[in-house]
């Protein structure tokens, strides 16, 4: 008998002005059964909530342990900052002397990437580096910006241009030639110029 049927039968019996001994006994049984049903549902939900809370705490503990282990495994020589950073290197790409457009709002969308551009940086494209907590050398590599942008950049290719008879890739940082390419560690106020030319 389901809960609604029990309730209906109880209501039917309670409408009677006089109940026989058998009906009173049956009514008590039904009321006890309904109470048990209600308590079972309540306790089931309560038990489920307790287990959900335990699972949530376990997830946070595992995440915290993973974060601490990751943090402790980073050699000090790989650390750029313990407390985050907010740097603004400038980036320019020239193909055979013609400046290439670097779009606004790269890395800004559903996920706000640590390396991104803004729409106010029209004249001089600025790569905004906004990082919190521990920052490692791997996180400030120029190649990461190109991955976020979805474009190719390394010592043999810039955008869709590859080294060959047409030209080759060169990189300059603050006016000096630099062979770091995608592995270059960007710094505050760097002027990075990538050229593809003969």
DSSP state string for 134-149: -EEGGGGBHHHHHHHH
- Torsion of the alpha carbons at 183, 137, 87 and 171, rounded to the nearest 10: -10
Are 84 and 111 in a shared domain? yes
Look over the chain and give the mean of its residue pLDDT values, rounded to a whole number: 89
- Give the pLDDT score at 70: 67
3-state helix, strand, coil in the chain (%, to 5): 40, 25, 35
Does residue 152 carry a pLDDT above 90? Answer: yes
Core vs surface per residue 95-106: b (16+ CB within 10 A) or e = beeeeeebeeeb
126 and 167 together in one domain:
yes
- Residue ranges making up the domain that contains 32: 3-73
Cα-Cα end-to-end distance for the chain: 87
How many residues are recorded in the chain?
198
Position 42 confidence tier, pLDDT thresholds 50, 70, 90? low
- On the question of pLDDT at 75 being above 90, the answer is no
**In angstroms, rounded to a whole number, what is the distance separating the alpha carbons of residues 43 and 138?**
51
Q: What is the mean pLDDT of residues 65-89?
A: 84
DSSP 8-state code for residue 88: -
> Based on the domain organization, do 186 and 99 belong to the same domain?
yes
Q: Is the pLDDT of residue 146 over 90?
A: yes
Domain count, the chain: 2
105 and 11 in one domain? no
Same domain, 8 and 89: no
- Choosing from 27, 49, 73, the residue where a domain stops is 73
- Where helices occur in the chain by DSSP H, the ranges are 3-15, 21-73, 142-149
24 pLDDT higher than 90: no
Q: What is the pLDDT of residue 159?
A: 97
Among the candidates 73, 106, 132, a domain finishes at 73
Using CA atoms, how far residue 119 sits from 91, 102, 103, 168, 186, in Å, is 14, 10, 8, 30, 21
**Percent of the chain's residues with pLDDT above 90:** 59
Assess whether 64 and 98 both reside in one domain. Answer: no
Q: What is the pTM of this model?
A: 0.63
- The pLDDT confidence band at residue 156, using thresholds 50, 70 and 90, is very high
Same-domain check for residues 130 and 192: yes
């Amino acid at each position: 008998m389901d809960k609604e049927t029990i309730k209906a039968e109880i209501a039917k019996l309670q409408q009677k002005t006089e109940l026989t001994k058998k009906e009173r006994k049956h009514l008590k049984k039904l009321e006890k059964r309904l109470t048990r049903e209600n308590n079972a549902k309540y306790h089931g939900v309560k038990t489920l909530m307790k287990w959900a809370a335990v699972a949530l705490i376990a997830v946070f503990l595992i995440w915290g342990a993973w974060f601490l282990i990751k943090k402790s495994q980073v050699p000090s020589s790989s650390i750029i900052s313990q407390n985050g950073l907010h740097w603004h290197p400038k980036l320019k790409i020239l193909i055979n002397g013609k400046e290439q457009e670097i779009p606004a709002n790269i890395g800004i969308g559903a996920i706000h990437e640590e390396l991104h551009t803004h729409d106010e940086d029209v004249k001089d494209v600025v790569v905004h580096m906004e990082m919190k907590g521990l920052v490692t050398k791997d996180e400030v590599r120029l190649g990461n910006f190109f991955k976020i942008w979805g474009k190719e950049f390394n010592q043999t290719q810039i955008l869709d241009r590859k080294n060959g008879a047409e030209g080759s890739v060169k990189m300059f940082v603050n006016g000096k030639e630099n062979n770091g390419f995608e592995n270059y560690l960007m710094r505050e106020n760097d002027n990075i110029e990538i050229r593809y030319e003969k």
